[in-house]
Amino acid sequence: MAEISLPKQLSGPEALDSMLQTLRQKLRMNGRFSSHMAYAGYRAEISVKFFPAASFIPPVEQVIELENVPAGAVVSQTATVEESVEIPVRPPNQVREDADMPTPVLTTDDSGNPVEKWVKRKGMVQKNKVKGGNVGEEPIVTMVPTAIPVAK
């Protein structure tokens, strides 16, 4: 039996990890977060609006204020970076793959019994490493060593 992709819903931690991955990718595009930049501290406001799709769970709106400033440091009163990131509704497995997380598949074990496995696609093409294109090879599929027997 070949692998069959399972469209399982995203867990709370998976949703959070995928949001953080998208935010990280967006902010890396800004020169203020390059490795050669150095700060004595910072103050940040992060506004999160989370709207679950096809769910009975109500949306979440939360503002998080971070302050990591040493005593006596002067903090700019105007924002140096202002970014808005909107994440569209996508199928759960696409969200997982975009965030480099394992995806559930149904396959068979050595005895021919169906088992669910979580596959992580290693070696995804790296983006934004070189101007004008991507660097890397085609993804290599490897199995994560978790198997859950599925009843026949």
pLDDT of residue 64: 85
pLDDT of residue 15: 92
pLDDT of residue 123: 53
pLDDT by position in tens, the chain (length 152): 678 888 889 999 999 999 999 998 888 888 888 888 888 788 888 888 999 888 888 888 988 887 777 777 777 777 777 888 888 888 898 898 888 899 999 999 888 899 999 988 765 554 444 444 444 444 444 444 444 555 55
Cα 149 → chain centroid: 27
pLDDT of residue 151: 56
pLDDT of residue 148: 53
The pTM assigned to this predicted structure is 0.66
